[in-house]
Amino acid sequence: MLEIKDLYASVQGKEILKGLSLKIGAGEVHAIMGPNGAGKSTTSYALAGREGYDVTSGSVTFKGEDLLALKAEERAAKGLFLAFQYPLEIPGVSNLTFLKTAVNSQARLRGEADLDAVQFLKFVRTTAKTLNVSEDMLKRPLNVGFSGGEKKRNEVLQMAMLKPSLAILDETDSGLDIDALKVVAEGVNALRAPDRSFLVITHYQRLLDYIVPDFVHVLAGGRIVRSGDKSLALLLEEQGYEALTEKAA
Ligand code: ADP
Ligand code: MG
Ligand code: MG
């Protein structure tokens, strides 16, 4: 699904990723954990193609294609999805309009037909229900006045509607109480499939009790310093990042 080889990336001239390598197979769930400032969000932005996140060397292959040669919207249309750590508020654009535009523009980029209004409404209402996203949240301007937890649930709603091949969740658990965390985890687990992979970025072990990863990686200093199975997350919780990353260094 995804192969990152020796990736270096800079933000405003500052080198943040320094030789990051990671391979994600189809259907696998990988977790990246790491201290604040390690480069977790930078990794997700570099993969999604966010402006200002400059890849200076290394390669990324996504479903056999050179990901870095594609524009952000082309990456999305090919099935790459990013749930933001800090979802943006967009006044004047309703959540429904946003979702419909996203779903249909991706379909168009793939050469598929648009959903009509009736099909779309049926799809969005059914999906929203499973994620406890209210009718009111669908009608309001995108994320405006949403609580932290509502914003994160709304990110997962976007994911469920876009049905990506690779979903990157950047600290989707931050700001969630335990009930919302379970709703989000159930939403993610319901989408697990042999042809869909997940990269779950989190600071805390707790989320991984609900979304059980196949592999856990520790990101520190801009590269993966340690990889293991889900027990590595528990070890991190027990010993802290510092102890583990010092050992690795
Ligand atoms: P994490 O998500 O692991 O907490 P980030 O990827 O957000 O870490 O940040 C990694 C480093 O890059 C930090 O030192 C951060 O200050 C810096 N950084 C990230 N984005 C920017 C930016 N837009 N401008 C300047 N520095 C940035
Ligand atoms: Mg951070
Ligand atoms: Mg971050």
Spatial distance between the Cα atoms of 83 and 168, rounded to a whole number of angstroms: 6
CATH code at position 35: 3.40.50.300
3-state secondary structure of 122: helix
In the chain, what percentage of residues exceed pLDDT 90?
79
Question: Is the pLDDT assigned to residue 141 strictly greater than 90?
Answer: yes
Q: What is the pLDDT of residues 178-228, one digit of tens each?
A: 888 888 899 899 999 999 999 999 988 899 999 999 999 999 999 999 999
Please list every protein residue whose CB sits less than 6 Å from any atom of ligand 1: 11-12, 14, 16, 34, 36-42
- In the prediction, which pLDDT does 20 show? 98
Does position 144 have pLDDT exceeding 60, yes or no?
Answer: yes
Q: Distance, CA 115 to ligand 3 centroid (Å)?
A: 34
CA distances from 91 to 101, 128, 139, 149 (A): 16, 21, 12, 19
pLDDT attached to residue 26: 98
| Burial call 28-38: b when 16+ CB within 10 Å, e when fewer | bbbbbbbbeeb
Q: What is the pLDDT of residue 121?
A: 96
**What is the SS3 assignment for 235?**
helix
Range of the domain at 220: 2-246
Closest approach atom of ligand 1 to CA 52: 23
Cβ neighbours of residue 147 under 8 Å, at least 6 residues apart? 175
Find, among 115, 152, 117, the residue nearest to 133 by Cα. 152
Ligand 1 mutation pick, 14, 51, 223, max ligand atoms within 8 A of CB? 14
The predicted model gives 74-83 an average pLDDT of 95
Measure the CA–CA gap between 20 and 220, rounded to whole angstroms: 10
**Distances from the Cα of 71 to the Cαs of 51, 68, 78, 179, in angstroms?**
10, 8, 11, 37
Report the number of distinct structural domains present in the chain. Answer: 1
- In the structure, ligand 2 is a single-atom ion and the residues with CB under 5 Å from it are 36
CA dihedral 135, 146, 197, 105 (to 10 degrees): 60
Task: Give phi and psi for 106, each to the nearest 5.
Answer: -70, -40
Residue corresponding to tokens 């990336």: 9
**What SS3 state is found at 32?**
strand
Atom 7 in ligand 1: which residue has the minimum CA distance? 41
CA of 236 to the centre of ligand 1 (A): 22
Please tell me the distance from the alpha carbon of residue 80 to that of residue 167, in angstroms, as a whole number.
6
**Residue 249: pLDDT band by 50, 70, 90 thresholds?**
low
Query: 48 C-alpha to center of ligand 1: Å?
Result: 15
Instruction: Lowest mean pLDDT of 2-16, 24-38, 175-189, name the range.
Output: 175-189
Confidence of residue 57 (pLDDT cuts 50, 70, 90): very high
- In ligand 1, which atom is closest to the CA atom of 170? 2
Per-residue DSSP letters for 176-210?
--HHHHHHHHHHHHHH-BTTBEEEEEESSSGGGGT
Minimum-distance ligand 1 atom for the alpha carbon of 34 = 3
